Structure 1
């Protein structure tokens, strides 16, 4: 069941912009917020074990409550900005209080991470901090000033292209540093 929950949660996140697009004039904000809150609560047991998971869960549930009680569907579009802000906080604080998030992820698959890799994981964490600043700013600007179509295009497609470029670029760079490419 935890794997199914993880898949459903990820699918909800990926499809969120399209759910907003389709539901903007059809769904009640309170019901939308309830569905989103249920998705987060289903994921809570795993999230509470992850770095920054408590902050993410708390921020998401506060957002859901605000959405439900305000009754304003216009708040739906702030969700990607909120997620970027929370992830920025998690990644940024990990740089200050360590170990950096990318180092933690690397150690999960390679517990005996060489000391030479530590500065690299710190630099990659900084790259992600930059991404979250960029993405949060773009998402906020589109929420405030762009049409729902443009907002959906960015948050439902373009951001995933950017993420793909980041993942592939980092992987290729890492392979180059290791001498594998």
Structure 2
């Protein structure tokens, strides 16, 4: 059941900008807030980690504001909230190691050598930069762009940018591994 909740949360999160865009103009924002509430509840049920519970509370706050004021802006702020939470998670891991990227790397390679730990720290910094830029763009599109631009950026461009960062990092990692293969 836990995997189903997580899978549903991921699917809804990925589809969120498109669903909101398609529903704007057809439904009042207060009714679209239900989707954000579902995301918040799924997130809260899928974790015991305080940061994700805070994220769920933030999503519920946005949904509450959308309901109270019947305004779409709080709904459009959700992608910026997600980036802020991810930035907080990755930045906190730089202060309180192991870094987020090191934890992920250790899932497949538990005995990381020292150079790999240093590399994962640099990659964590890269992701922090990504979340700052992506979050700023998500915020800008929520406040100053049309609904269509907001949906295209947050539902497509942001995912493409994330895929590019993943791909470039994978290529760099292969070179780093090759350079240290003789160690």
The two structures share one fold, judged by TM-score above 0.5: yes
The answer on whether the counterparts of 1:30 and 1:68 sit within 8 Å (CA) in structure 2 is: yes
| Greater shift in the superposed pair: 33-42 or 133-142 | 33-42
Equivalents in 1 of 2:139, 2:60: separation in Å?
A: 19
TM-score by length of 1: 0.89
TM-score by length of 2: 0.88
CA 1:98–1:60: 2 relative to 1, 3 Å: farther
1:65 maps to what in 2? Answer: 64
1:112 maps to what in 2? Answer: 111
Instruction: Give the secondary-structure state (helix, strand or coil) at the position aligned to 1:26.
Output: coil
| Greater shift in the superposed pair: 39-48 or 151-160 | 39-48
1:153-176 residue CA offsets vs partner (Å, 9 max, x unmatched): 111111111111111111111111
The answer on whether the counterparts of 2:13 and 2:39 sit within 8 Å (CA) in structure 1 is: no
Equivalents in 2 of 1:29, 1:111: separation in Å?
A: 46
Query: CA shift at 1:27, angstroms?
Result: 2.2
Equivalents in 2 of 1:12, 1:115: separation in Å?
A: 38
Aligned residues: 180
1:28 maps to what in 2? Answer: 28
Which runs of no fewer than 5 residues in structure 1 stay unpaired?
Answer: none
1:179 maps to what in 2? Answer: 178
1:76-114 residue CA offsets vs partner (Å, 9 max, x unmatched): 111111111111111111111222111111122222222
Which runs of no fewer than 5 residues in structure 2 stay unpaired?
Answer: none
Q: What's the C-alpha RMSD, in Å, of the aligned pairs?
A: 2.1
Query: CA shift at 1:133, angstroms?
Result: 0.6
Equivalents in 1 of 2:38, 2:121: separation in Å?
A: 34
